[in-house]
Structure 1
Amino acid sequence: MGTTAYADNRRATVAQGLGGAYERMLSVAVAALHEREPERLWPLMASALPGLCGGETLIYKLDDWSESKGTVGMSPGVAAAFDRRGDEALGLLRAGYPFAHHYAADDDRTPVTARRAAGRAWQSSPTARLIADTMGVDHVLGLPLSRSAAPVTGCLVYRSGSDFTDDHVRLAQRLQPLLAAVDQQRQLLERWRATAVTPREPPEAGALTPRETTVLLLLTDALTAAAIGRRLGISSRTVHKHVENIYRKLGTRDRISTVLRAQQLGLVATPGGLPDHAPSG
């Protein structure tokens, strides 16, 4: 086969693979937007993401990459393996070698493999030996949230055998906006759970969807449709559609009456974080 024909076949194979990956990404996004429980969002990502970018398993870190603290999420089998090895092994995993140091150097959040970040030092590192012994894998791909600051938050995707390819890394980079949107949804749902009081009566036309709930929360912050769209990674037109649905379900016609109605129903907190019927003084 000639060089040109090989290159054409290679591009066709990659394009076909990307098309299937994008379809799966869309399915994951739809599932995430319909999830009402914030603690279920990242486990959903953990089950779907490895296969999208050439991995076998995934560990996610939501708030800190340090040896002493930070939320570390992993599959039950992996968690059990680390439990058996004790706190020292988990601390080594939390340290995030070599990604914590790599991403601390600047604001670049491009996905990178451990081998490329650490060079030859990766293979002989304690972290590489730990994951080989505990998880049976050899390679790691760092996939941080694209806008995360220090400490970096995001995912570590693992595989055995050969390292992640350039195509895997490029696909991981395209997954970053989806991860950012899912984590934004998680934070907004957690905020809603923390501030909402028990509804005294249900909305007339049915419950709000999780995405409508997040839009409602941002409406209470007096954000414009364009600002809400930027925050959630959707178009202003889509925001307006969500707002129309909220108006219909709450029986309101404008932003102010919608916020007041939502406060009356206990869907959002009243100013000061107290229910509107709480006694003063």
Structure 2
Amino acid sequence: MARSPKAAYERIASVAVAALHERDPGRLWPLLADALPGLCGGDAVIFKLDDWSAGSGTVGLAGDTAAEFARLGAADLALLRTGRPFASHYLTGTGREPVTARRLAGPAWPASATARLLGRTLDAEHALAVPLPQATTPITGCIVYRSGADFTDDDILLARRAQPLLAAVDRQRQLLEQWRRLLPGAVSPDERAADCALTPRETTVLLLLADALTAAAIGRRLGISDRTVHKHIEKIYRKLGTRDRVGTVLRAQQLGLLPRTGATGGGTPAGERRPA
């Protein structure tokens, strides 16, 4: 049965929404990676949240891929980390469009060391890079693999449509990791947020609210509309029993949801802070 592009995209969108309700930031990318092959017509996926280079870069393995690559030696893992032929392609320009290895490397791709490695471990012949659209250095994102024919133009189009969803979930991951680092202690930040009935998304909005960002700036940071940000803020006020931004931040500090002193370290761009 032919894949429905609409159904495939709705599937990844629903997974992205579900990921935004996940409290553990370490589970966000595995959730996406499990769904991404079905969207792009692939069989397996690897996600990389660091630089695509031989010397560094965490290789995230989804589904059955993990078992296959658990047996790889150091040399094969280094080859996998390079992201060939994608890393050099993306590092030479600012474009972040999804592209296949065959279209980049041409007829030389099947004989390359990376292609041979994929054939041995995944029985895969083709690779499609799906980088995060705002990634600069390091290049981060996914590589989807498949056997048989190369990825089609429709597969690449769906991958392009998925990029903003991947980016939104990755921003959520980074903020949740930052929030956890800011709040060490015997009681985990997740438990404190759950006690206040705050969702993970509301937690990240609260973190940015404490950094004095405007609703518009929060929306840009999270990839959502101003209206959605205001809805999240209203829910935070209601759950914490507060009426304004300052009171909310103070109440959150009392509850251990935010650090009591110092900035949150959100790295606010110039011009995005709310006037005092």
TM score, norm. by length of structure 1: 0.87
1:154-183 residue CA offsets vs partner (Å, 9 max, x unmatched): 000000000000000011000000000000
Is 1:222 the counterpart of 2:209? The answer is no
SS of residue paired to 1:123: helix
Change (3 A) 1:262 1:160: same
**Equivalent in 60, 75, 80 of residue 67 of structure 2:** 80
Change (3 A) 1:182 1:204: closer
Is 1:91 the counterpart of 2:78? The answer is yes
Matched to 1:178, the amino acid is L
Matched to 1:161, the amino acid is G
**Equivalent in 197, 200, 203 of residue 207 of structure 1:** 197
**Equivalent in 28, 31, 43 of residue 30 of structure 2:** 43
Aligned residue in 2 for 1:54: 41
Q: Give me the CA root mean square deviation.
A: 2.2
Change (3 A) 1:199 1:160: closer
Gaps of 5+ in 2: 265-276
**Equivalent in 247, 253, 265 of residue 257 of structure 1:** 247
Aligned residue in 2 for 1:243: 233
Change (3 A) 1:162 1:62: same
Aligned-pair CA distance for 1:204: 11
In 2, Cα distance between equivalents of 1:130 and 1:204: 44
In 2, Cα distance between equivalents of 1:107 and 1:241: 34
Is 1:114 the counterpart of 2:96? The answer is no
Aligned-pair CA distance for 1:205: 8.4
**Equivalent in 125, 137, 146 of residue 150 of structure 1:** 137
Contact 1:205–1:250, Cα closer than 8 Å, also in 2: no
Aligned residue in 2 for 1:104: 91
Aligned residues: 261
In 2, Cα distance between equivalents of 1:171 and 1:265: 43
TM score, norm. by length of structure 2: 0.89
Q: Which runs of 4+ in 1 moved over 6 A?
A: none
Contact 1:204–1:250, Cα closer than 8 Å, also in 2: no
* Fraction of identical pairs, as percent: 64
In 2, Cα distance between equivalents of 1:203 and 1:46: 26
Work out which of the two has the higher radius of gyration on C-alpha atoms and give 1 or 2.
1
Contact 1:65–1:152, Cα closer than 8 Å, also in 2: yes
1:16-60 residue CA offsets vs partner (Å, 9 max, x unmatched): 822212321231122111101000001101111110111111000
Gaps of 5+ in 1: 1-12, 275-281
Change (3 A) 1:55 1:202: closer
Matched to 1:56, the amino acid is D
Matched to 1:230, the amino acid is R
Aligned residue in 2 for 1:183: 170
SS of residue paired to 1:59: strand
Aligned-pair CA distance for 1:140: 0.2
Matched to 1:27, the amino acid is S
Change (3 A) 1:76 1:261: same
Is 1:271 the counterpart of 2:261? The answer is yes
Aligned-pair CA distance for 1:76: 5.7
In 1, Cα distance between equivalents of 2:72 and 2:88: 25
1:208-264 residue CA offsets vs partner (Å, 9 max, x unmatched): 000000000000111100111111111111100100000001111000010111111
Aligned-pair CA distance for 1:81: 2.9
**Equivalent in 145, 153, 157 of residue 170 of structure 1:** 157
Change (3 A) 1:243 1:34: same
